[in-house]
Amino acid sequence: MNHILYKGLTSCYKNKRVLSNEEKIRMEEKEVKEENRKIRFLRYLVDFSILSIQQSDLSLTEALRLVEDVKRAACNLFPGKEETFELIYRPRFNRVIQERFGTASRIS
pLDDT tens per residue, range 56-81? 999 999 999 999 999 999 999 999 99
Give CB contacts under 8 A, 24+ apart, made by 84-91.
89/46
Looking at per-residue confidence, does 10 or 68 come out higher?
A: 68
Judged against a pLDDT cut of 70, whether residue 34 lies above it is answered with: yes
Please report, as a single letter, which amino acid is at residue 12.
C
**Residue, of 20 and 94, whose pLDDT is higher:** 94
pLDDT score of 5: 47
Q: How confident is the model at residue 20 (pLDDT cuts 50, 70, 90)?
A: confident
Cβ distance 34 to 81 under 8 Å? no
Work out the mean pLDDT of the chain and round it to a whole number. Answer: 85
d(CA 78, CA 72): 10
Q: Is 97 helix (H, G, I), strand (E, B) or coil?
A: helix
Which pLDDT belongs to residue 24? 76
Q: Which amino acid is at 104?
A: A
Give the number of C-alpha atoms closer than 13 A to the C-alpha of residue 23, restricted to the C-beta side. 4
Q: Is the pLDDT of residue 1 over 80?
A: no
Q: How confident is the model at residue 26 (pLDDT cuts 50, 70, 90)?
A: confident
